[in-house]
Every structure is written in structure tokens, then in C-alpha cells.
Amino acid sequence: MKSNKKNNITIDDLAGMVQKGFSDSEHRLGVRIDKIEKRFDGFEKQFDGFEEKVSRRFDQFSNRIDDLALNRVTWEGLKVVQARIDRIEKKLHISLK
């Protein structure tokens, strides 16, 4: 059975309904924005930690390259050592080749 009652809605009632709808939407949007901001803060913290790790690794890598560059054997140094070995082998009449 249908009710034949007519609900008379005034402009003020309609304005109140629209206002409530906007208020509810604003509240839900505010809650979502708060959640997004919290997640973003978490990403920032993770990124800061990642940035520190990468920077530390890069510094370690750079130090290792510097150490290798300082302690490497040059071709000229190798030639000098080989010439000395050749002379010793010749004097002792031995060949290690």
C-alpha cells in the first residue's frame, strides 16, 4: 500500500539536507586526506633511511676505488720486477718459466 501522505519540504529543509550532505562529504574527505598524509610521512621516513644507506654505500665504494688506485701495480713497476727476476734467474742458472 502506498501512502498518499505528501511530505512538504521547505527551502530551508532542502538547504539543511544539502548542507548535511556537504558536511558528511567534507568529513569523509578530511579522514581520507589524514590517512594519505600519514602514509606519505611513512614513505618520507623510509626514503630518508634509503638515502642514508645509498650515500654510505657510495662513500664506501669511493673509498675502495681510492685504495685500489693508490695500491695498484703499474705496468712500469711490473716490468722492473720482471727484469730483476730475469737477472736473478740468469745468475742462478734457473728458469721458472
The residues, ordered by sequence, that sit 6+ positions from 85 with a Cβ below 8 Å of its Cβ are 96
d(CA 19, CA 23): 6
List pLDDT tens digits, range 9-33: 888 888 898 898 888 888 899 999 9
What sign results for the dihedral spanned by CA atoms 80, 82, 86, 89?
positive
Banded model confidence at residue 71, pLDDT cuts 50, 70, 90: confident
Q: Whole-structure pTM over 0.75, yes or no?
A: no
> pLDDT at residue 3 above 70?
no
d(CA 10, CA 24): 21
Amino acid letter, residue 29? L
